[in-house]
Structure 1
């Protein structure tokens, strides 16, 4: 069973951080062959597997009703809401 939430690209994440904090985060593009090579060197790494899948444009998704939070009626917030509630507090930024 999985937990569902936003599905965003790394670019969307970086753009959201830029907009929220008013500064530009550094972006480095990794090619699919590079990511596949890293996965070959560490085939058991879940994060390396996800990087290859997302870089190839396949991505992953789940039916919300079949997820842990969907079956239990647990609401999740979106990426930008989470960032506003958590990232800004760490940066000492107030929206009031």
Structure 2
């Protein structure tokens, strides 16, 4: 699939649940919520989803397949991988 065929606004809507999963885990574990860190996490999800979609031959997908649903599923898998990685991240010290 060509990146030009992907509506980035729609892509970000489809990734929202995955990002919420990552953020909920960060909040529950008391991990850093610094803007730079959060932006990097969002970028990681987006870049991995885009990479997966670029590697997809849409012409070979079954009838009814949509890149939007695929993006949601890939984003959730990426989010779960990030959550798994975050388990080793130390919480922010409380003052």
Fold shared, TM-score > 0.5 on shorter chain: no
User: TM-score, structure 1 length as denominator?
Assistant: 0.29
Structure with greater helix share of residues:
2
Answer 1 or 2: higher relative contact order, Cα 8 Å, separation at least 6.
2
Question: Who wins on radius of gyration, i.e. which is larger?
Answer: 1
User: TM-score, structure 2 length as denominator?
Assistant: 0.30
